[in-house]
Amino acid sequence: MPGPVEVGTSFSPLRAAALGLDYQAAFLRLEAMHFRVIRLSTYWDQADLSATDQLDWMMQEANRARQPVVLAIGMKGLGWPEFFIPPAYQPVGIGDGEDVSRDAQLRDATLAFVRDMVDRYRLNPALVAWQVENEPFNRSGPHRWWIGRDFLLQEVAALKQLDNRPVIVNAFGHFDMGMDAASNRNGFDLRALLGFDADSAERQSLSALAPGDILGLDTYTDIGYKNWLGLPAISRAGSDWADVIGRWRRTASGQGKRAWVTEMQAEPWEANRDDYLNARSTGPQDIGRRFTALREQGFPVILLWGSEYWLYRAQIGDPSWLVAVQKLTGADAQPTPAS
């Protein structure tokens, strides 16, 4: 029988601001929902603006409230446009769909940023783990860049020289053949189609970890896109999605490593931003179904993605998303919207 699950979430002040939320009020509301862990992110391109002040406040507040947090560091953070590289270090000579870490200046600057962030936050007792980059081996963002394994290993080594907390490396999990090919840095993988052991983002992520570290799996089952006519459509995950994700947990366990679901879809993924209020891809009723499927696969920690969206919907008078999440966290079923 599956054991108890620690339910967490992720939070981005940038995503909150885009929805008109006050980030401090939103973060306090999430703390009140009894999440076992909240994942935060550095945003390198804003480190000289307000982002570090925001992260300082959240880390200090988490320490005050004894709220465990995971902190993602590196050039790639949580949310669009995925890569948060300052203008001074924009890669030179790197085309779309290529390994962005081939740029030597960018590599050196990223390692310095990683060390700075570890030094800044390693003494905070609320911090339980570091995430190095976000989905580094998946192509993403407007340029569909990805990060090479050799450089990721340098980032992990730089971090571990300064702190001994567990490291998370995450990957966009199995969806279906078409979506997997879109996010895979090698594109369409015939070996995977034929059932061979493919050089997947999950396998590369796992290979970058030491025993005791954590493989993160980002799991989405209902994704909006524009079809060949330019019309909105929905792609649904294959029926084997939970089994495939679960096999990665068992593979990690066999290597003495752990596996978490670092993102479970709990908000819509639409082809057009304007459709988010009338979502076709997913609804609050789907959250529990996905959670149950992953819990049955034995995942000990599941982080729900979409906290800013739930708070926004509650603010405009629709608490149904918060209520669906609170059924999993055990928090008060009468949500207090963030202001």
* Tokens, residue 119: 């030094």
Provide the number of structural domains found in the chain.
1
Q: How far is CA 311 from the centre of its chain?
A: 18
- Cβ-proximal residues to 127 (8 Å cutoff; 6+ apart), any chain: 59, 68, 69, 70, 71, 121, 165
Question: Facing residues of 38 across strands?
Answer: 9, 69
Q: Is residue 113 part of a domain?
A: yes
263 belongs to a structural domain = yes
Q: Measuring CA to CA, which residue among 266, 333, 270, 320 is closest to residue 294?
A: 266
pLDDT at 40: 98
Segment 218-258, tens digit of pLDDT: 999 999 888 888 888 889 998 899 999 999 999 999 999 99
Q: How far is CA 140 from CA 145, 146, 160, 191, 207, in A?
A: 6, 7, 27, 22, 21
61 in any annotated domain: yes
Give the C-alpha separation, 98 to 83, whole Å. Answer: 13
The predicted pLDDT at position 67 comes to 98
**pLDDT at residue 46, rounded to an integer:** 85
pLDDT at 199: 67
Q: Are 70 and 126 in contact (CB under 8 A)?
A: no
Beta-carbon contacts of 265 under 8 Å, excluding residues fewer than 6 positions away, are: 219, 220, 221, 222, 282, 290, 305, 306
Q: What type of residue is 41?
A: S
Cα 287 to Cα 304: distance, rounded to the nearest angstrom: 9
Nearest in space to 137 (alpha carbons), one of 215, 247, 225 = 215
Q: What is the pLDDT of residue 179?
A: 55
> What is the pLDDT at residue 178?
59
β partners of residue 130: 71, 167
Q: Is 18 a domain residue?
A: yes
Per-residue confidence (pLDDT) for residue 273, from 0 to 100: 79
Report if residue 339 sits inside a domain: no
CA 179/CA 217 separation, integer angstroms:
15
Q: Which regions of the chain are under pLDDT 50?
A: 181, 183, 185, 187-188, 190, 192-197, 333-339
Structure confidence at residue 60 (pLDDT): 97
Query: Domain containing 214 — which CATH number?
Result: 3.20.20.80
Residue 1 lies in a domain: no
Q: Note the pTM of the prediction, 2 decimals.
A: 0.92
Helix axes 104-121, 149-160, angle to 10 degrees: 30
SS (HEC) of 265-325: ECCCCCCCHHHHHHCCCCCCHHHHHHHHHHHHCCCCEEEEECHHHHHHHHHCCCCHHHHHH
The token pair at 242 is 């939970």
- Which range marks the domain in which residue 308 is found? 6-329
pLDDT the model gives residue 87 = 93
The verdict on residue 308 lying in a domain is: yes
Residue 81 is assigned to a structural domain of this protein: yes
State which H helix or E strand residue 225 sits in. Answer: strand 222-226
Residue type, 338: A
- Please tell me the predicted confidence (pLDDT) of residue 175: 61
Which residues partner with 76 through β-bridges? 83
Q: Which residue in this structure is represented by tokens 């639409």?
A: 270
